[in-house]
Amino acid sequence: MTTMSQVVNAGFPLLTVTAGLPAVGAIATAAVPAARRTAAKWLALLVSLATLVLAVVILVRFEPGGDRYQLNESHAWIADFGVRYELGVDGIAVALIALTALLIPFVILAGWHDADPLETKSSRWRPTQGFFALILAVEAMVILSFEATDVFLFYIFFEAMLIPMYFLIGGFGDRAHQHGDKAAATQRSYAAVKFLLYNLVGGLIMLAAVIGLYVVAGTFSLSEIADARASGNLDMATGTERWLFLGFFFAFAVKAPLWPLHTWLPNAMGEATAPVAVLITAVVDKVGTFAMLRFCLQLFPEASKWATPVILVLALISIIYGALLAVGQRDIKRLVAYASISHFGFIIMGIFAMTTQGQSGATLYMVNHGISTAALMLVAGFLISRRGSRLIADYGGVQKVAPVLAGTFLIGGLATLSLPGLAPFVSEFLVLVGTFARYPVIGIIATFGIVLAALYTLVLYQRTMTGPVKAEVAEMPDLKLRELVVVAPLIALLIFLGVYPKPVTDIVNPAVQHTMSDVQQKDPQPDVEAAK
């Protein structure tokens, strides 16, 4: 009998199949008859679980101490323009593919009934099928973005994922419009259009930079560009490299999102359903920070160092600005959105600190932020669906009537403020240490983001979960089995990776060393010699 290991060793296109399975699953889910919406849900869930199995196979097959890019696939595509279908994964990509494949089944389970009330008597209208098909389509495009080692191929999926996200935000947002609330529908449309326009503008600027890169390098292949640079056959003019870097970085900063290009995120997360909000900030936005490591630093090392001081200042503003606005929010989902802007500031700060600890912490932060935000936002979604309101003032005393819901909400919140013992603490600590080693003033100011995180998280919990029980929540049911299945594994992961982050750091650290080599940076040495 042929084993999976033998199939992979025989040249099985594991990366293509891992991304292709949810793409095929999206088509199959959309094709399910309108009357069989439950079957469509189960099909989407099974496809997402099968994709998770393949992601685990990638994780097992990847050798952290081996070649930089592994499980490579390369085929001619548009030969006249030098475009190839090239895939490969390093440790950073492997970790983020695993995160994506892990979160999608929980997103599907959490949104199990989100499209149901939109059903009509029309036999042609399949909102439930469309909802889950769009989620699988986003998963496929995100995974391909993590796998692509051809710059043009990456660009295609970097932009293509905007289309299903646009329909998820604009077509499946908060359901007030079912009761004739046209204002809510208008707000959703505004949020979806704003999301699309911001990201399209960034993508168009990046396209110009992609074309410019091809003119200079004569190829879109990361490996060929690296070989040409190493052999001295590629020598970009300083001005050219800086302009190309800015074109790429602008698109990634919009996606990330980095201040002042962040304003689409609170609207999109506020108007989307909670599972789609998780898809935005825990999955899609990670493509932006991932691309900064893979493309900005690798393709434009000198320009990356040139731009570092300005980027660090922008990241610092994101940290403090996002946290301050989170403190003043009255809307639960917008609070989480502004908190995410602050957290992405930490991630970008770690990337451009140009230290091993900073970049390892930033990569670990991408994974941990995805898990912690998913936990908090999904529990918040369960809370909002019970009360029918996103306003913090409409809650109070929930812990007395729904203690399990309140407890899971508290753990998600504590993870958001990076409490020691929970996963985000380790990554945030590494980012701050790595930043302080090279830019101590930036590192010191950034620590105020932690204080503000404690403030907005604990105030949110106090106002919603403690105090007298409000009449509107007196009969609120606690978490159901399906909801517990969604939240419990995420909380378990937050605790496990908070105590033992080594499985992730072992995978990403070799890739970080390669990135540090790309930019020709070494970690600063301590001013005080260790005692002998």
- Concatenate the DSSP letters of all residues of 28-90 into one string: HHHTS-TT-HHHHHHHHHHHHHHHHHHHHHHHHH--TTS-SSEEEEEEEEEGGGTEEEEEEE-
Three-state SS for 148? strand
pTM of this structure: 0.89
What H or E segment, with its residue span, contains residue 5? Answer: helix 4-9
How many angstroms separate the first and last alpha carbons of the chain?
Answer: 58
Q: What is the mean pLDDT of residues 455-463?
A: 91
- Residue 117 burial (10 A CB sphere; 0-12, 13-18, 19+): exposed
CA dihedral sign of residues 109, 266, 283, 322: negative
How far is residue 358's CA from residue 62's CA, in Å, rounded to a whole number? 23
53 Cβ partners below 8 Å, 6+ apart? none
Could you give the CA distance from residue 283 to residue 378 in angstroms, rounded to a whole number?
14
Q: Sketch the domain layout of the chain as residue ranges.
A: 300-523
| Ramachandran class of 388: left when φ > 0, alpha when ψ lies in -120 to 50, beta otherwise | left
> What does the pLDDT read at residue 124?
46
The pLDDT tens digits for 354-395 are: 888 899 999 999 999 999 999 999 999 888 888 888 888 888
Distance CA 477, CA 403 (A): 10
The predicted structure's pLDDT at residue 181? 59
525 CB-near residues (< 8 Å, 6+ apart): none
Structure tokens at 309: 């001081």
Collapsing DSSP states into helix, strand and coil, what is residue 439? coil
Q: For residue 295, which of 215, 357, 209, 216 has the smallest C-alpha distance?
A: 209
Report the distance separating Cα 277 and Cα 106, nearest Å.
13
Half-sphere exposure (CA, 13 Å, Cβ side) for 523?
A: 16
In which band, very low, low, confident or very high, does the pLDDT at 467 lie, cut at 50, 70 and 90? confident
- The angle, 0 to 180 degrees and rounded to 10, between the axes of the packed helices 481-499 and 423-438 is 40
pLDDT of residue 185: 67
Residue 130 pLDDT greater than 90, yes or no: no
How high does pLDDT run on average in the chain?
86
Q: How far is CA 527 from CA 436, 438, 524, 530, in A?
A: 13, 12, 9, 9
Q: Is the pLDDT of residue 424 over 50?
A: yes
Question: Is 408 in a helix, a strand, or coil?
Answer: helix
All residues at 6 or more sequence positions from 271 whose CB lies less than 8 Å from its CB, including other chains: 169, 173, 174, 187, 188, 190, 191, 192
Q: Residue 323 pLDDT > 60, yes or no?
A: yes
pLDDT-wise least confident of 223-232, 427-436, 464-473 = 223-232
Token pair recorded at residue 190? 């505004």
Residue with tokens 């990509």: 93
Helix 14-30 vs helix 127-147: angle between axes, to the nearest 10 degrees? 170
d(CA 496, CA 477): 29
- For the segment 33-37, the average pLDDT, to the nearest whole number, is 80
The whole-angstrom separation of Cα 384 and Cα 394 is 10
Following CA atoms 295, 297, 303, 306 in sequence, which dihedral angle do they give, to the nearest 10 degrees?
140
| 8 A C-beta contact, residue 172 and residue 276 | yes
Name the band, by pLDDT with cuts 50, 70 and 90, for residue 5.
very low
What is the DSSP-derived secondary structure letter of residue 125? -
Residue at 499: amino acid letter: V
Check residue 296 and report its DSSP letter.
I
pLDDT (tens digit per residue) in 139-180: 999 999 999 998 899 999 999 999 999 988 887 766 544 444
Long-range contacts for 391-394 (Cβ within 8 Å, ≥24 apart)? 391/330, 391/331, 391/332, 392/329, 392/330, 392/331, 392/332, 392/335, 392/460, 392/463, 392/464, 393/330, 393/463, 394/470, 394/472
Mean pLDDT score, 182-205: 83
* pLDDT (0 to 100) of residue 118: 52
DSSP 3-state of 491: helix
Q: What is the pLDDT of residues 45-58, one digit of tens each?
A: 999 999 999 999 99
The Cα-based distances of 145 to 2, 69, 154, 281, 382 in angstroms read 31, 14, 5, 16, 31
Q: Give the helix/strand (H/E) hosting 487.
A: helix 481-499
What pLDDT is attached to residue 180? 44
Closest CA to 265 of 178, 198, 327: 198
**Helix residue ranges, H only, 388-480:** 398-401, 403-416, 423-438, 440-446, 448-465
HEC per residue, 297-365: HHHCHHHHHHHHHHHHHHHHHHHHHHHHHHHCCCEHHHHHHHHHHHHHHHHHHHHHCCCHHHHHHHHHH
Least trusted range by pLDDT, from 32-36, 72-76, 182-186? 182-186
Q: pLDDT tier at 83 (50, 70, 90 boundaries)?
A: confident
